[in-house]
A and B are shown apart, each in its own frame.
Chain A
């Protein structure tokens, strides 16, 4: 249920319409080919041997028993890596295969290729590894304190970064503080890691079909590890079954290529679900202390904070996640003074990196929990405290950077507030109670709580990264019509960039027939499908390429007809002289000329932070407000989220139906973090690497979403549109936690239990603890 009017135009949709996905038909009839659906004659199967220990010295590896099994073709270990022995997105600190030590449960030790997946499993079991088991480092605080020996040559602190802004001695009359914990969340995309590597006939190159978020970054890292020039490694996007950050890092890419090159045959690799939990990075678990100082009427005077993130065994994007976390300490609120300490530690836990929200999810749970405490301390309601402090365009942030983005924070709050609350619980529908089909909840113990969360999220890459995307637009007349062909390397992971790319081209060029070329490394980089950046960045590149072609068209037509090209505009499907009589279809105006332009779009440069955490490190921001209504059985600790209302700052909705899809899907993931999802590690070993034990929201867990799109086009965005992928999943988590606290206060008549809800996911035992 949404309040958004989803403009509908199935075919030929322009910007602002909601045409259906070009890959929709293939996805519903089963013919769409995911990276796992790529058979090839003569292909062997690959598989990975992984460490069962969180920390151990590798004493010996004997592969001979595996090679003796009929059907096993090859077994590779660290000695067989011809190029750089390590990889990593920011720091290449993770071995392709463990060499000397294993540092987390799941670290790759060897890879095999065989004739059948079952033969692979037997081969892995036959490899004889001798470990000297070491005490794992599993306490991030101990890692930061430096009183444990380094578990990696690069040390046990992945990054320390502080922020000092304004007057560190400032104090407020009202002071509230708390320590908040966020559990490790898994992206849990449905389409497991999968790839097909095809070696070149001469053995000096390879083509890799893979589900990834960033083809060119993969190519850079893969070619380095293979010891090949980048030109000898070609990547093609295999169909991607979701990503959410977990496909930004290398998983099976290098292993699949190594096996294929060693074997001289195509190799397919697929992870199982259990292996997927080990084989990709996760959301950082975090412990965050915050202390807010405010005036008696609730104006924030200063925020003090200390962030400790557990980065796990290898660096991945930990340093950038920490930057995001600490620079969002204030949330969408003004803050004149701040003292923030931030650390991300290396431990023998599963490596952490990108997941939707990227550090801001953790910060937001803490700052929104604090805003509710501040409201209570000042005796005002939760919305009043947020409106009182709402940041606006032109305000400075605690990095000293001026917020230049459109910032409709108050409007998001007011529009979400205006959305209708759900009807009271239906006494005749026991399935709708907390506990659902278990029919365990006693209606007399069920209280309905309401909670709020508001967020601010940076868009695109930060800290000086030259972030860009590339697109090619070709326009030709064919069979009496005009056809646009777009090419880009933008990973379509489900978000629908393929839909809006065509909408942009149709709008700029007035041509209905838009064809999308294969997504591969046959064009320049598009950057990563992450950081809510592709609508802005690759949308900007497609827009710029189409505009370049349009300029060439009006110059050619203007020259031919003697009309000033500045007077020629595209109107619908026609080219028109805006000051004269000329009008003809674009297809006719083209004649037999082919127009072909490739354009790179860069966003404005950003800076690294200095040692006081000052600098213009971010590009742009988007905002969202969430209201959660939750029924809680306060005796049993059961929770049923009844409704989530949201108003989101989207700039401009290029495709309202796709925006709603991002909003509802993001809310489901934020709900999962609030009450269901957590990777549990005990003594460094994961205990729930399956969908039986790692609980994901299903249809019965997901409430109706009511949404309002706040459309204030951002003049800095090429199409006025902000990224919409991450904001939906950020402030919904604290909103649900706040609603649980509200229900507990109603049940208890005091805040004792409510104030103890400082950790997500909120477990039944957290609610019932007395």
Chain B
């Protein structure tokens, strides 16, 4: 059972042709659209490595049927920043704070951190921990990741001040 459908990813329309309709969004993003930024590490929504935005909602792409995500804006890690020319403040903070080791969890955590800071400009440590608990990192022990998020919150606050 295959069909043609269209996904709107990072501001661009992509036609998905001759694809089996059982494919999840993660597989389609990666293997049909060549967007390998979202990673697969558990295939059951536990690790957050495949985190993307669908219609503004943070989702695990492994749990979303790709064909169900038509007509909704999808944002992946490749779609952050100024069309890839410059890293976002969150991305830069992850690099600077030492939040990146192997990097496999990083795209998902970057997506989750952006979403958190968009909804809560001044998160407490407990709020950061609770919000990022859906993203597993096996390398860092999270200390530098929380530090990166806090750095962004601080720098955005200072930019807001006149």
Instruction: Give A contacts to B, CB under 8 Å.
Output: 1-2, 6, 10, 18, 20-21, 23-34, 36-37, 39, 116-118, 187-192, 239-244, 270, 272-273, 429, 431-432, 437, 493-496, 657-658, 660-661, 663-669, 690-692, 696-700, 702, 704-705
Contacts and interface: CB of A to CB of B under 8 A. Distances in A.
B146 interface: yes
Interface stretch (B40-48, B64-72, B154-162): B40-48
Contact of B102 (A118, A190, A429): A190
A559 B37 CA distance: 53
A239 B107 CA distance: 14
A706 B111 CA distance: 28
A668 B141 CA distance: 5
Contacts of B152: none
B3 interface: no
B95 interface: yes
Interface residues of B, number: 60
Contacts of B140: 661, 664-665, 668
A242 B133 contact: no
Contacts, number: 192
Contact of B76 (A30, A270, A431, A691): A30
Interface of B: 20, 22, 27, 30-31, 34-44, 46-47, 49, 76-78, 80-81, 84, 87, 91-92, 94-96, 98, 100-107, 110, 126, 128-130, 132-146
Contacts of A437: 130
A272 B27 CA distance: 13
Interface of B is mostly: loop
Given A21-B95, A190-B39, A192-B40, A29 B78 contact: yes
A596 B146 CA distance: 43
A599 B15 CA distance: 52
A365 B110 CA distance: 36
- The 6 A-B residue pairs with the shortest CB-CB distance, nearest first, are A30-B37, A494-B102, A27-B103, A241-B104, A664-B141, A668-B141
B9 to A, nearest CB: 12
Contacts of B138: 187-190, 242, 244, 665, 668-669, 696
15 contacts: A30-B36, A191-B39, A241-B104, A242-B101, A242-B102, A242-B139, A494-B139, A658-B98, A660-B143, A664-B142, A665-B139, A669-B138, A691-B44, A699-B133, A699-B146
A34 B128 contact: no
Contacts of B139: 190, 242, 494, 661, 665
Nearest to A27: B103
B133 A192 contact: no
A665 B40 CA distance: 21
B37 A29 contact: yes
Contacts of A669: 138
B41 A668 contact: no
Given A34-B39, A494-B102, A700-B130, A660 B144 contact: yes
A664 B110 CA distance: 19
A665 B140 CA distance: 4
B81 A29 contact: yes
A650 to B, nearest CB: 16
A2 B147 CA distance: 11
Contacts of B80: 29
Contacts of A116: 20
B91 A241 contact: no
A457 to B, nearest CB: 18
Contacts of A243: 102
A242 B136 CA distance: 12
A449 B10 CA distance: 50
